Amino acid sequence: MAIKAIFFDQDGVIIDTERDGHRVAFNDTFKHMGFETEWDVEYYHELLQVGGGKERMKHHLKTRGFGVEVHEDEVDDLIKKMHRFKTDRFIELIESGSLPLRSGIHRFMKEGEDAGLTLAVTTTSNERAAHAIAYNVLKDIPFKFVLAGDIVTKKKPDPAIYLLALDKTGLQPEECLVVEDSRNGILAAKAAGMHVVATSNFYTQREDLTPADVIVTSLGDPGGEKGELIKGDIPDYNGVLHVHQLIHLFG
């Protein structure tokens, strides 16, 4: 079947947000709340194996604590309050322009648009943050929809968000290409029966991304950063991954 849609994860795919965006915003939140908690670069990689920001804070609270006693009946409200502040801080970082787009992502999206493909964002990141990126930073990209946050109850690696994307488009899994960066995201997309391209980054380059059909270190740009092809049959690959190459590969 021909490829008719591309679904993009957000964090680590569109913007390399995890290390210098989300992690910084979480640490600013802990400081604001008066907690002596700080997530360093290595520990945050461990936390990334837990899907969702609220879930990561709950995991940390249960395993390491915030340095003060938090009663069980206060946990949900506290986490929601912290996550709201964290999201505001994260969006400030995005809108300030301090978190640039990953190499090749805008070009790749434009190629998808020119090819007449449906483009959408499928992320477990907060909806406000997803909208800030999709509708402000990438305002010239015609996304059909943005699925984000708690729109599904189960996070990646559960395929729920991709099954919802299929339902919204009415397409078959084989007609859809997903761009992900993490093992959890890849497993979610593959469980939904979709083709997957992985673009690794600082954190996910250490994960097992081999379930993806194609793996590159970045999508690459003709006049800028070039990627490295780790997995996939792309005969004319030269450091820049193009949509037409994937349409041919999976079509």
Residues 134 and 49 placed together within one structural domain of the fold: no
pLDDT digits (tens, 9 = 90+) for 231-243: 999 999 999 999 9
Q: What is the pLDDT of residues 133-165, one digit of tens each?
A: 999 999 999 999 999 988 999 989 999 999 999
CA distance 87 to 82: 9
What is the CATH number for 172?
3.40.50.1000
Give the residue numbers annotated as catalytic, written as ranges.
9, 11
* 85 and 181, same domain (yes or no): no
Q: Is the pTM of this model over 0.75?
A: yes
Q: Is 209 in the same domain as 245?
A: yes
Question: Is the pLDDT reported for residue 185 higher than 80?
Answer: yes
| 56 and 67 both lie in a single domain | yes
CATH number of the structural domain spanning residue 27? 1.10.150.240
Range of the domain at 91: 18-95
Strand 195-199's sheet: what is its strand order? 145-147, 118-122, 5-8, 176-180, 195-199, 214-216, 229-231
Of 41, 12, 1, 21, which is closest to residue 219 (Cα–Cα)? 12
Domains held by the chain: number: 2
Whether residues 134 and 192 share a domain: the answer is: yes
- 37: pLDDT strictly greater than 90: yes
